[in-house]
Amino acid sequence: MPLANPLMVDHLLFERDDRNVFEPINFTVDAGDILQIEGANGAGKTTLMRLLTSALQPTSGSILYQGEDIRRCRYEYLANILYIGHQSGLKMTLTAEENLSWMSPATCSGDDIRAALAEVGLRSYEDVPCHNLSAGQHRRVALARLLTSTATIWFLDEPFTAIDKQGVATLEALMRNHVDAGGCLLLSTHQDLALDGVRKYCVEPHKQRSLR
């Protein structure tokens, strides 16, 4: 069932070396939304993603999940989000199937895992150790998590990295299916999306203001 008011970001700030990384962040995300995070290199897009997934703590401002600060409902929030970042997060000594198995909910069966790998183009690669797979195949293993996760809110940081044209089409179809089912999606990418209804939010680097 779609969440009511799944995410609201209110005047979010983060300091590094006693300086704000970006201008205050304010936006809301509703069920069925796709929000594309834009900004120049170094503007703080990945920092924002890490704040939204609670890997970093904001200096000020708040992130609300269904109207409640995520610091007060941390476990419920983390149970309902999925984050895929720049790095695949794979263990290279494990096979594609073994990696996806430990990254997926315990309710996923072996058949579920193999079906997910097949859908992202890794049929017959299930038993191959990941150190023998290409960078693009590593990315596909990580993205197969989208098929096994039950999370409503997806955070994807540069998800199209190292995947080919067919992989892009597959990923966009997964995104479309997710939001059509009432989920929501926040992603950082420089790629134009072949999806309807994409909203954009630009992260502005902090402007140093002179004192007078």
Look at residue 88 in the predicted model and tell me its pLDDT.
84
Pairing verdict, β 25-29 and 7-13: antiparallel
Look at residue 30 in the predicted model and tell me its pLDDT.
96
Q: Name residues of the chain where pLDDT drops below 70.
A: 1, 208-212
Average pLDDT in the chain:
93
Parse the chain into domains and list their residue ranges.
Answer: 1-80+151-212, 90-150
Look at residue 210 in the predicted model and tell me its pLDDT.
47
Look at residue 2 in the predicted model and tell me its pLDDT.
74
Look at residue 190 in the predicted model and tell me its pLDDT.
85
Look at residue 71 in the predicted model and tell me its pLDDT.
94
Any residues with CB less than 8 A from the CB of 163 and at least 6 apart, and which?
A: 136, 139, 140, 143, 171
Q: Which pLDDT tens digit goes with each residue over 140-167?
A: 999 999 999 999 999 999 999 888 999 8
Which stretches does DSSP call E strand in the chain? 7-13, 15-16, 19-20, 25-29, 34-38, 60-65, 68-69, 81-84, 153-157, 184-188, 198-202
Q: Which pLDDT tens digit goes with each residue over 5-33?
A: 899 999 999 999 999 999 999 999 999 99
CATH topology of domain 1-80+151-212: Rossmann fold (3.40.50)
Q: Quote the pTM value.
A: 0.92
Look at residue 84 in the predicted model and tell me its pLDDT.
94
